[in-house]
Chains A and B, each alone.
Chain A
Amino acid sequence: MESAAARHEIAVSMEDRAGRIVDLGAADFDTVVRLYWPRIFRFALASLRDRDAAQTVAQDCFLKAYRGRERFRGEASLLTWLMQIAVNLVRDNARNRRLQFWRRAPAYPVDGQAVRNWIPDAGIDPEQRILVQEQVDAVWNATARLPERQRTVFLLRYVEEMELLEIAAATGLKEGAVKIHLYRALRSVRAHVGRLR
């Protein structure tokens, strides 16, 4: 199991290499998949709330990236580039699901109850755990109600901890638009979570 520091170092050198030599071979790309799969998958999962759809999006994302690796010039970071592909795939997937009215029900839906089980066991007592579960559940449900763009921006900022400019590059929005979407998303989520008091 690699440490976080080691993973970061690999990621940095990977991005550095990718930026310089551009030509990412299959062996290098395997490392890219190992490094970024969890991030792409969890972003898709939190966006689509369907394990099967998230798995498909993550696979398609790396497949597209692999096929179009010659186009990666290192202008943005590798993560931003992958996230840009993932954002488009998530949008397409959501749009297709809206159009395919007979397939509206997700194959493997994730609800607030399932999310409660994702909370890491960080040595908190049972009483605190219940409070944490309620909070996580509330944020999960609040993000479900957000419009697509607001949810994307919220997840990229607060789950992936990306910078505003990186979010702008990944979503194709201007920095100002990212700020506005983020402000609105925060206001909605805060209002929803505030009802827990």
Chain B
Amino acid sequence: MNDFRPGNFQGAVARFRDAIRQEGKRREIPELQAILSHERRAKALRPQWTKVAWAGAAVVALMLGAIPAYERAQERQRESEQEKADAVLLEQVNAGLARSVPRAMAPLMDWAPGN
């Protein structure tokens, strides 16, 4: 144990052990109550991660639910506009088909005998 030669490995490990143990002894040992109260303080200071996590999950769920609803509304609006456009076109087609002569010849027809 008192062999301080540099090459003495077992001695070096023993002195390392003594040094670590010495430091362990120097530290103040807390009472159990102090440990328990430290935990309570730490808990009080700790952010409410579970609440934050739940709020985040709720936001994500809302967004996930809102996106398809928004897409459905957009789709319905597009369909309604398309239907209106189709109706207008159909009216125009019907009006075109109902003419006796093409629109371009209508002025000439005014000069025709009998008109």
Interface residues of chain A, those whose CB is within 8 Å of chain B, are 26, 29-30, 33-34, 37-39, 41-42, 45-46, 55, 59, 62-63, 66, 115, 118-120, 122, 124, 128, 131-132, 134-136, 138-140, 158-159, 161, 189-190, 193-194, 196-197
Evaluate contact between B22 and A197: CB separation under 8 angstroms: no
Evaluate contact between A158 and B7: CB separation under 8 angstroms: no
- The contact of A41 among B24, B36, B38, by CB within 8 Å, is B24
Evaluate contact between A136 and B6: CB separation under 8 angstroms: no
B16 partner residues in chain A, CB cutoff 8 A: 135-136, 139-140, 158-159
Chain A nearest CB from B21 CB (Å) reads: 6
Evaluate contact between B32 and A30: CB separation under 8 angstroms: yes
Q: Is B70 close to A, CB under 8 A? A: no
Q: Is B9 close to A, CB under 8 A? A: yes
Contacts A/B (CB < 8 Å), 11 sampled? A37-B30, A42-B23, A59-B38, A63-B39, A66-B32, A120-B18, A124-B4, A131-B5, A138-B12, A193-B12, A194-B7
Q: Is B20 close to A, CB under 8 A? A: yes
Q: Is B44 close to A, CB under 8 A? A: no
Say yes or no: A135-B12 contact (C-beta < 8 A), given A39-B24, A118-B19, A118-B22.
Answer: yes
- The contact of B19 among A37, A41, A120, A124, by CB within 8 Å, is A120
Question: Could you give, for residues 34-76 of chain B, a 1 whenever the CB lies within 8 Å of some chain A CB and a 0 otherwise?
Answer: 0110110000000000000000000000000000000000000
How distant is the Cα of A66 from the Cα of B23 in the complex, in angstroms? 25
- The contact of B18 among A38, A63, A119, A131, by CB within 8 Å, is A119
Chain B nearest CB from A24 CB (Å) reads: 11
B20 partner residues in chain A, CB cutoff 8 A: 42, 45-46, 118, 159
Evaluate contact between B35 and A119: CB separation under 8 angstroms: no
Q: How many residues belonging to B are interface residues under a CB distance threshold of 8 Å?
A: 30
How distant is the Cα of A158 from the Cα of B94 in the complex, in angstroms? 101
B21 partner residues in chain A, CB cutoff 8 A: 38, 42, 159
Q: Is B31 close to A, CB under 8 A? A: yes
Chain A nearest CB from B30 CB (Å) reads: 7
Q: Is B25 close to A, CB under 8 A? A: yes
Evaluate contact between A62 and B32: CB separation under 8 angstroms: yes
Q: Is B103 close to A, CB under 8 A? A: no
A139 partner residues in chain B, CB cutoff 8 A: 12-13, 15-16
B19 partner residues in chain A, CB cutoff 8 A: 115, 118-120, 136
Q: Is B97 close to A, CB under 8 A? A: no
B17 partner residues in chain A, CB cutoff 8 A: 158-159, 161
Q: Is B29 close to A, CB under 8 A? A: yes
B38 partner residues in chain A, CB cutoff 8 A: 59
